[in-house]
A and B are shown apart, each in its own frame.
Chain A
Amino acid sequence: MAMSATPDPHENEPPPVGAAGAESADDTSEGNDFPARNDSPTGNTGPSGGTGTAPPEAATHGRGASPHGSSTADRASTASAQPAGGPPDPDAPRTHSGDDPSEDDDGADELPCGRRLDALWEMWADDPAAFDHDPHVAECPHCSAALAELRLLDGFVREEIERDEQVAAQTSTAHAGRVADRVMDIVRTELRPGASVPLGAPDEDQWITETAAARTFREAAEREPGVEAGSCRIAPAGGGDRRFVRPGARLPRGPVRVRIGIIAPLRTATPVPAIADSVRKRVATAADRELGMEVAAVDVVVVDLAVDPDAPDTYGDSEEGSQ
């Protein structure tokens, strides 16, 4: 098995280039083979980036923008990026071997009749019936031949999908369950309990993890029919930015403020503010009676509305309407 249960602290670090948003940037460290997209094609973006990976992207780029004018530059950068005798770049070695489809198409985009092959195929892929109203395509031998080729390929692709589905139907449930079990075994060794939240009177020394308290509050909120609970954060009532509380740290002893996000059912009988108010009371009651937590305020944030008032069981498995 490739994955060990030990987290690699470096695995998720974002790459040095910072053009993308924070959420997406960290993924690029996992093996984006085209990291130089917004940089100069020769810019070195890191150990896995390098100049060797830029040419395919440059070629792709040039194709769309200017099929003829850019091809020379593409080839030039390809040549310069793979100098003879240079150290092999594991990220790029075969991209420009002879079987690479990007190498053989310069100037071939246009059919003899003047139609563009990529546009023709894309139209067909988007909507095979699109050409019913295009007399040229039906009569043109070039267009017809080009479409026949794509149809042939499409037939094989559909066969491939069917075969995959047959195989999946036979084996997938057991495999998927096994993989999910393995994932959760690892996850349970890496739980994130969050900060410790004070329980009881100010002079006591009792604490509960934020995740445990949040679970209690979400369950309380979801006892309101049709409500699904989302985010639930707990902060000191006196203010202070919750985001800077370190994991595992303790909140100061004293009353707290609970902020819970819900998806509320859209019902004619009960207006949304009344539902939110009811959720607030349920959370406050749970804090008082189930946990013994001193809660100064409960903020209910309605993040979405659901059309169907039927209550989901738990954890949002229900597929209720959303519009």
Chain B
Amino acid sequence: MENTGEDTTPGRVDSARSDTLLAVRAGEGDEKAFETLVRRHTPVLLTLGVRMLGNQADAEDAVQDAFVSAWRRLPDFRGDASFLTWMYRIMTNRCLNVLRSRRPTEPIGPGEEPSAPEHQSSPVKAAEGAAAVQDLTGALATLSPGQRACWVLRELHGLSYREISEVLDISEQAVRGRIFRVRRFLTEAMSAWR
């Protein structure tokens, strides 16, 4: 049943297995089983939302919408992918829709910073490191939503190519190609910090 990733660390397998059981129960209408899943996975999906959408409020709305959508679809969930991969998929698609609906009104060009993400504005690090990360954030903002999703899932969430291909419904080969191009784009964008 846990066929979704190369990650075979015991903890990961256990939690996926238990997810599967809970997802089956939730699909049969057990809302308490669903609540366990919601509380277990809300933090990581919130992080994904902030990384994709750039602010906490939009991320919270997207996670909420994703879980409500999941509740409605669970009767058809057959466990071909792990529950978490399935949630990544619903959540990522939510974020892509939000980003696309934003784009006409919020053009983001290279070098400009129209809306600094909330989590970036906290004074955490030394100025230079913060500025470089700001540059990284700015460079990421110029990516297409699909490219950004690929890169965020791989580099910030550690999903395997195969998992990403399931999340985005594209081939593994396409995922590799896209991540390579984003990496090259970002290394060029960050080369000033060498």
Q: Which residues of A contact B (CB under 8 A)?
A: 1-3, 7, 11-12, 20-24, 26-28, 30-34, 37, 56-57, 60-61, 63-65, 88, 90-91, 93-95, 99-102, 104-105, 117-118, 121-122, 148-150, 152-153, 156-157, 159-161, 163-164, 166-168, 171-173, 175-180, 182-184, 186-188, 190-194, 210-211, 214-215, 218, 228-233, 261, 263, 304, 315-323
Contact = CB atoms under 8 A, between A and B. Distances in A.
B125 A99 contact: no
Max count, chain A CB within 10 A of own CB: residue among B51, B120, B176, B187: B187
Contact of A118 (B64, B174, B176): B176
Max count, chain A CB within 10 A of own CB: residue among B76, B97, B100: B100
Contacts of A3: 61, 64-65, 68
Interface of B: 10-11, 13-15, 17-18, 21-22, 24-25, 28-36, 38-39, 42-43, 46-47, 50-51, 56, 60-61, 63-65, 67-69, 71-73, 75-78, 80-81, 86, 89-90, 93-94, 96-97, 100-101, 103-104, 107, 109-110, 119-120, 122, 124-125, 129, 132-133, 136-137, 142-147, 155-156, 166, 168-171, 173-174, 176-178, 180-187, 190-191, 193-194
A30 to B, nearest CB: 4
6 contacts: A23-B78, A32-B169, A34-B170, A90-B100, A178-B60, A187-B68
A149 B43 contact: no
A192 B43 CA distance: 26
Contacts of A190: 68, 71-72
Given A153-B186, A156-B190, A178-B60, A61 B17 contact: no
Contacts of B170: 34, 37, 57, 60
A121 B64 contact: no
Contact of B64 (A150, A183, A214): A183
Given A31-B94, A90-B104, A319-B15, A179 B63 contact: yes
A190 B34 CA distance: 13
A32 B138 CA distance: 24
A33 B72 contact: no
A104 to B, nearest CB: 8
Contact of A33 (B15, B42, B51, B146): B146
Contacts of B166: 24
Contacts of A215: 30
A90 B144 CA distance: 12
B80 A211 contact: no
Q: Can you list the 6 inter-chain pairs with the closest CB atoms, starting with the nearest? A: A101-B185, A30-B93, A31-B97, A192-B29, A211-B29, A149-B187
